[in-house]
Structure 1
């Protein structure tokens, strides 16, 4: 992408895509990255654009790994909702459109991006704990519903919405602690 206007358009596209990503906006809004969370979010846009500028043929899975690493390192956040690959594919598609000069298509696609659904996210607070005496695992009851995909191709799985039916899920937080100090919370079966 040699044209400066293409670079600017791609930077605008990356900015809008990342700002529409509920996982990142949640991490920024709640300060998961510390006092400089907003600056880290802005840096992500720069880093993605710079990476595409310096390298040819970046694949979605490579960008997915990069974004996952940044979320983990800078925001202490792990996205397990399937949105990482979708955001990565969207950014790669925008890059190819910008590189081929399809400005109108880029602008139209950006208009379809939804706002992040941070207000619909529910806290992972523990209502009740049940210990499994045999394994020592702790099961937590909570209510959440992950909705299906959005009409315009942006994953609604980015959001966790409170459901009026209050279906309960078991969350296994057990004694599973990774070497890096993270406590792994796994989605369990619905009751």
Structure 2
């Protein structure tokens, strides 16, 4: 793929937006798969369908987000197909293929230490025990953007691993479509208008 300068973005190459999750229908509605849900919605918005990315262990959609014309941004949406704790390899392969700077990678993921449905956007930082983030950071460093979707802490003595691999509750599912839609809006705002504007609008 030829790399061209996106003058509106002031950057070379596309943004790489990564939804983190686990492949397979048995995981589809797990809390750990909310990143996949957001990526699926973004793909729907740009009229694309996920396809296998050559030799990379991932599915991708290429397109543009934002208003038509110079205000839009080139993006590659990605879902690693390697399972959560091995996400870094496929994502780094895509990053190198599309020549995406680390600062133009956006990881969308579940976050235990934030109340359900709350969003937090940031650049860099630790992984807070999240295996997907650990793998990304090991592969290409920590200075990528994160869109953190709160899922809350497990109730009682439930183990974290059990909690994240359970489906959203029936009460949570009543709000889930709206919240995933809002997270997709936050990703678009981040890419088009920048982190500070997106934080001001969506960090709740």
TM-score normalized with structure 2 length: 0.27
Bigger radius of gyration among the two: 1
Q: Relative contact order, CA 8 A, sep 6+: which one is greater?
A: 2
TM-score normalized with structure 1 length: 0.28
Q: Decide which structure has greater strand share.
A: 2
Q: Decide which structure has greater helix share.
A: 1
